[in-house]
Amino acid sequence: MRVVAAVDKYKGSLTAAQVAAAIGHACWELGHDCTEVPVADGGDGTLEALGGPNRRSTVTGPLSDPVEAEWRLSRQTAIIEMARASGLALVGGREHNDAMAASTVGTGELIDQALDAGAKRIIVCLGGSATTDGGLGAVRAIHAPHRLRGVRLLVACDVTTRFTDAAPVFGPQKGASPAQVRMLTGRLERLVQVYRDEFGVDVSTIAGAGAAGGLAGALAALGGTLVPGFELVADELDLYDAITGADLVITGEGHLDAQSFEGKVVGGVQAICERAGVPVGAVVGDVDDDVADRLPVVSLVARFGIERAMAEPMWCVEQATTELIEEIRSGRASLR
């Protein structure tokens, strides 16, 4: 058989490339060919899926401390993960964040450096932000924003949250108190008018503009196009062509739940397979009962227990892959 391993990372355990490699090894042992395609949904992990970093810049972190942010520039295309410059993980999580002060300046500095380096196409991946500054820090950090007029700016975004809803929807996850959520909302409402006056764009009407605390809206005001993250990655990796004509596709992620089918990797891969008429199954870290019947799935936690799944994840993925393939080929697939 020709198998395609189109998988996301197992957060905190394996990278997407490692999961794909484990699936590929299991296929090789069974005598099958396997095309390994590590995938992402436009958030963290996307830079690795699209070739990995080849640049490193010192930029302003979310709370003004300098951080070393990796990014990529290849063939005049820059790939920037905002979390590497303005991410919540950089400040140690919500408990250590200052939700009012956190800024996207560093992300803007990366965009500015990409422009200086001659980028004609810039992909900004959202997700994992510490910020609810409406992207103002990024906008102000880009010297001569008019340079973006000659650039295709793509913003990978997998939410539909409106600009002025960013604070109540995401603020608490970033450490904002109820009072701070109200203040941040007022700030975002004022920024709607600022962006309308400066750039002629009404960010309040754009679905998804609230992503990354409003950074998506700010980049839209600068001429950016918001695109579903998984679809952007799938296009970049020619995933559609890889799946066409395959005998089986194996997808997966760390935790399969209802959100996995709403713009994430597993749901996106399943949809492509349905259109292509290719069977698909999943190897996942864990799975919620309410989605376990959406496709044949093997859960490492259910099969091997949480301790072994965390201690030997590569071995567990290989064993689960073997089981999944055998069950699908026999027509008995109803796994968990």
d(Cα 319, Cα 115) in Å, to the nearest integer?
46
pLDDT at 159: 86
pTM of the model: 0.90
Question: Average pLDDT, stretch 209-238?
Answer: 96
pLDDT at 336 over 70: no
pLDDT digits (tens, 9 = 90+) for 51-74: 999 999 999 999 999 999 999 999
Q: With beta carbons less than 8 A apart as the criterion, state whether 201 and 163 touch.
A: no
* H helix or E strand, kind and range, residue 80: strand 77-81
Q: What is the pLDDT of residues 157-187, one digit of tens each?
A: 888 899 999 999 999 999 999 999 999 999 9
For residue 36, the model assigns a pLDDT of 97
**Nearest residue to 54 via CA among 89, 79, 36:** 79
- Contact 287/253 with Cβ under 8 angstroms? no
**pLDDT reported for residue 333:** 57
- Is the model's pLDDT at 332 over the cut of 70? no
User: Rounded mean pLDDT of the chain?
Assistant: 95
User: How many residues are there in the chain?
Assistant: 336
Domains assigned to the chain: 2-39+237-330 (3.40.50.10350), 46-230 (3.90.1510.10)
State the distance between the two ends of the chain, measured CA to CA, in whole angstroms.
23
Q: How many CB atoms lie within 10 A of CB 182?
A: 14
Average pLDDT over residues 207-234: 96
Per-residue pLDDT tens over the stretch 87-113? 999 999 999 999 999 999 999 999 999
